[in-house]
A and B are shown apart, each in its own frame.
Chain A
Amino acid sequence: MRILDLKPETLDRVEAVIPKYPVKRSAILPVLHYLQADLGYISRDTMEWVAEKLELEPINVYEIVTFYPFFREQPTARRIVRVCRTLPCALSGAYKICQKLQTELGCTLEEPSEDGEVAVEFAECLAGCGTGPVVMVDDEFYENVDESKAEAIAAKIKGDKVANSTETSS
C-alpha cells in the first residue's frame, strides 16, 4: 500500500466512510473530499492511493477528479473566494463585485495573490439567488455582497493571514 502524508483524523474518516456504502466505489466522492481538505489538491499519487483503497483502477479515480469542478489536480491558494456569476447574481452586480474583490485582494481570475494566499474564482449558481450577489470564502457563505461588504470580506481574509503568521512565528 502506498503511503500518503495524511493527518490521522483524515485516515480515520476515510476508513469510517467506506463501509457505510454497499459498494466501495460509491465512497469515491467522500474520500476525495477528505483528502483534498487535508492535502489541498489531488495528486497522481493520491489518485493511485484512492484506487488501491477502493479496489479500482487509477483511471477510475482520474476520470472523477478531472470531471468534477471541485477537485483540483494542482496546489492552489490557501483561501478560495468563489463569486457566483450566474444570471440572478449578475443582475445584482456580481461582475462588479468580483472585480472589486480581485482589486482588494491583489489577484486576478487567472492568478492567485502574489503570496499564494488567496484566489478569486467565478462560480456557477450557488443557490442564493434571492440575496445576490453571493460569495463563498472557503466554506463560508456571504449574501447581498455590495462594495463595502466586499471590502470587509477582503479585510477579514487579510486579517486572518496576519493572525496566522503571528501564530506561526510565536
Chain B
Amino acid sequence: MPPTEQRIILKFADQPGYANDIECYLRHGGYEMLHKAFDMEPGDICHEVELSRLRGRGGAGFPAGMKWKFLDRKSGKPIYLICNADESEPGTFKDRQIIHKDPHQLIESMMIAAYATGTKLAFVYIREEFPEGALILEKAIEEARAANFVGPKILGSDYSCEIIVHRGAGAYICGEETGLIESLEGKRPYPRIKPPYFPAVLGLYQCPTIVNNVETLCNIKHIIEIGGEAYSHIGTPAATGTRIWCVSGHVRKPGYYEFAGGAITLGELIYDVCEGMRPGRKLKAVIPGGSSAKVLRADERFHGHLKDHTSFDWGLKDIPLDYDSFMAVGSMSGSGGVIVLDDSVDMVEALANLNAFYAHESCGQCTPCREGSLWMKKITSRMCSGEARSEDADLLVSISKQIEGRTICAFGEACSWPTQSFVAKFKDEFVAKASEAQSQATGSENGDRLI
C-alpha cells in the first residue's frame, strides 16, 4: 500500500462534484474562518501564524510569521499584500491546481492575511500563461465581493479591502518578489537589492509589502481553524503543515501529492506513491525542488549532521521530504517540484535544456548572469551538436562560479547550480561528449531528444 496523502490544501480539489464556485465552497464550510478571524485581533492572527511555524512554499522556505513580523507598521504608509501566483519554476504545478479547483480557499486566506496585516489593497500576481486561472480568480473575487467577503466594510465591520488580479506577461523573473513588485509598479521586473529593499519595509510603491506564495497563503485559513500551536504539530518541527510535492518526468504516475512535512521519504514518493520507473528503466537522477535545485544521483550516499546534530547516512531513497534534509544533502526542497530522470537521459542534453531556460529568463540586469547564462547555454548546446571539447566541463563550472554570489537576486544561484551539480556528478558524461565528438557519435541513443 502506498503511503496515504494528508490533504489539507487539496482536501476538496479533486473530490467528485466539487466545483470552484462560491456556493460549493460555502457548503463545505467556506468563509467560516474569515468570520472567526474577524472576531480576533489582527495581532493575535499574526501570533497564531508565528506559532504555526509555517514556512514559505515558493522556494526559499522563509518563515511566513517572521515575514509578517518584519512589516514596518510605524511608517504610516499603506500596507500591501501580494499573492505570488507567478508559478514558473520548471517542475512545479501546484498553484495551478489550487487556483483552478479551489480559488475561494485562496481568497478567504488572503482576506484573513489582509485583515491581520492591515492591508487595504491586495494583489494576485498571476502569470500570463494562466489565462483561465485569472478568469476563475476574477469570477471568484466578484462572488466573494457580492457576499461581502471582499470589498467595502467586510462582514459589516469597518474594515475594507480590495483584491486586484494582475496578469504578468511571460517573464520567470517576476516570481522573484522584488522583481514582481517592480513589474506591478509598471516597470521592467529588475529585482531590487536587499538591503535596503526588503519588501516588508520598502516594497510596492516603497510601502511595506508582504509577498507570499499561493500555497503558503492557503495555509492561513487552516491555521486559524485549528490554531497555530496545533498546526505546528502537523509534520516535523522544522517542516510544519503539509506540502504539495509535484512529481514530473520518468515515473509511472506523475502528479501532485500532499503530505505532512517529513512524513515520507523520497524513495516512498517515487516508488510507492508514483509507482516507480517505467518498465525496463532504472532511476538515474532526481532534481528535488524545481529545476534550480542541485541534482542528486541515484547511487549517491549522503553523510553528515542535521541542524539538531543528529548524524545521518542516507541513500537517495532515504531522504525525508522536508526543507532541512534536502539542505543537508546539498540540494534544496525549493518549490517542491521533483523531476525524475531515468537511465535513458543524456545528462548533457538535460543540462542544455535547463541552460536554455535560464538564458531565456535572465532579466539582464546583472552582467555575470546575463552573459554567463547565455555562455552556459551556448556551450551545452554546442556539446549536444557534436562539437564538444575536452575543456568544456571545466569551462562550464568556471563560468557558473563567476555568476554565483555576484548578482542582485537569487537567479544567479538558480542558473549556476544546475551546471555545477550536473558537471560535478556526471562528469564522465561531459567528458565522454568530447571523445564522442571526435568519433562523430552524438546524442542519446534511446531517450527523448531534450534540446
Q: Which residues of A contact B (CB under 8 A)?
A: 20-23, 25-30, 32-33, 54, 56, 60, 63-64, 67-71, 82, 85-88, 90-93, 95-96, 123-132, 136, 139, 141
Contacts and interface: CB of A to CB of B under 8 A. Distances in A.
B353 A85 contact: yes
Contacts of B169: 29, 32-33, 68-71
Interface in B423-451: 448-451
25 contacts: A22-B121, A23-B185, A23-B205, A29-B169, A29-B186, A69-B169, A69-B360, A82-B129, A85-B353, A86-B90, A86-B291, A86-B353, A92-B448, A95-B448, A96-B449, A123-B129, A124-B172, A124-B361, A126-B129, A127-B96, A128-B96, A129-B92, A129-B248, A136-B129, A139-B132
Interface stretch (B35-43, B297-305, B310-318, B337-345): B337-345
B207 to A, nearest CB: 9
Contacts of B256: 130
Interface string B120-143: 010000011111100000000000
Contact of A87 (B187, B189, B254, B450): B450
Interface residues of B, number: 60
Interface in B224-281: 246-250, 254-256
Interface stretch (B64-72, B160-168, B372-380): B160-168
B155 interface: no
A90 B183 contact: no
Contacts of A128: 93, 96
Contacts of B172: 124-125
B415 to A, nearest CB: 13
A131 B255 CA distance: 7
B186 A25 contact: yes
Given A26-B184, A128-B96, A90 B448 contact: yes
Closest 8 CB pairs of A and B: A68-B169, A25-B186, A129-B248, A88-B248, A70-B170, A69-B170, A70-B169, A28-B186
A93 B448 contact: yes
Interface string B147-182: 000000000000000101011111110000000000
B197 interface: no
A64 B184 CA distance: 12
Contacts of A92: 249, 448
B363 to A, nearest CB: 8
Contact of B246 (A26, A30, A32, A130): A130
A129 B246 contact: yes
Contacts of B90: 86-88, 124-125, 129
A130 B340 CA distance: 11
A151 B220 CA distance: 44
Given A22-B205, A129-B339, A29 B168 contact: yes
B183 A29 contact: yes
B312 to A, nearest CB: 29
Given A69-B170, A85-B353, A87-B350, A125 B88 contact: yes
B450 A127 contact: no
Contacts of B361: 124
A25 B185 contact: yes
B7 interface: no
Most buried by B among A86, A87, A132, A136: A87
